[in-house]
Amino acid sequence: MVSVDPKTATLTKVGNVILNEIDAQQLSTIDEGNKLYYFIGLNNTSNKPQLVALALETGKVVSSVDLPFDESAFIGVGQTIDFDPNSGVLYLSGVDPVTKMHEVLQYDPKTDKFTTLNEIGDIDVLGGLHAFDPKNKILWLEYGIDVTIDLFGLDVTTGKWKYENISNPMNMESMIYDIETGLMYGIGVIFQAQNHTRLLLTLDSASLQWKVVGQIPGYYIIDANVSALDEKNRKLYAVLEVDQEDGPFQLVTLDMKTATVEDHPTVDYPNGFPWSLEFYND
């Protein structure tokens, strides 16, 4: 585990080397109350996916639990993890090795118990978004449907799909919940005949209303769902590539009210920068 300085993109090692590797983007979440960093990683010894908890301040492994998920050739793709700050449980999804369906599970760290909430049979999305809305108790997931990529919202209270096959009109590719506004924030893109425009967006899980906060000029490729949010200081972090041939990737800091780029240090991507990003107010 490493910490990241958003102004310089400097990485600082926290703790020792971990025996699990993350091979897909944003397979992590934080339990701030217990100061734990959770991630899904492939155990290098057993070759099984595991849910691993690290102590945020030391990087020490606190627990590791085998997950009942199948692995494809693209390790970690189709798996997700999100934390519920209200109940203290985790929501995980992945492919069942027998049914080959995507299972959505609830895991309670206090009891070490998995509960199946629902399942869906659609297609993995490389770098697909996922997020949990604790206000409306909706778990957002993204899957491929024939030739489209749609959003799905699971009501974690009932275990039923509240939203199915929801179109993504502005191609939101990252998603994260903001406690101050009660909205989902993310970065999307509008494709036009000769060009494209990156956007900072919000989505209201209750009304399904999309809004554009502002444009983010000068960027095109985004590192999937890798993003983090500083609610107190109203900043959103994401990894974007400068829109030019062989343009560098940058750790971009956005003002959540205006979408203005405040900082954009270059990062060594994909070899020297994390594939998951979380913000922690220590």
d(CA 44, CA 55): 20
pLDDT at 127: 64
Q: Does a structural domain hold residue 280?
A: no
pLDDT at 274: 85
pTM for the full predicted model: 0.93
Q: Does a structural domain hold residue 216?
A: yes
Q: Which of 3-17, 71-85, 137-151, 190-204 has the lowest mean pLDDT?
A: 71-85
pLDDT at 139: 97
Query: What radius of gyration do the chain's Cα atoms show?
Result: 18
pLDDT at 40: 93
pLDDT at 193: 66
Bigger pLDDT: 148 vs 87? 87
d(CA 211, CA 11): 34
pLDDT at 151: 94
Q: Does a structural domain hold residue 274?
A: no
Q: Does a structural domain hold residue 273?
A: no
Q: Is residue 187 packed enough to be buried (19+ CB in 10 Å), middle (13-18) or exposed (0-12)?
A: buried
Bigger pLDDT: 106 vs 98? 106
Give the chain's domain count.
Answer: 1
**CA 242 → CA 25, 87, 102, 141, 200, distances in Å?**
19, 40, 34, 27, 16
**Average pLDDT in the chain:** 91
Q: Are 43 and 50 in contact (CB under 8 A)?
A: yes
Q: Does a structural domain hold residue 277?
A: no
Highest mean pLDDT range out of 72-81, 188-197, 202-211, 213-222? 202-211
Q: Does a structural domain hold residue 276?
A: no
pLDDT tens track for 152-165: 999 999 999 999 99
Q: Does a structural domain hold residue 210?
A: yes
Range of the structural domain that residue 33 is part of? 2-267
Q: Does a structural domain hold residue 95?
A: yes
- Report the share of the chain in percent with pLDDT over 90: 69
CATH number assigned to the domain comprising residue 144: 2.130.10.10
**What value does the mean pLDDT take over residues 174-181?**
96
d(CA 203, CA 184): 5
At residue 192, the 3 state secondary structure works out as coil
Tokens for 173, please give them. 């590719």
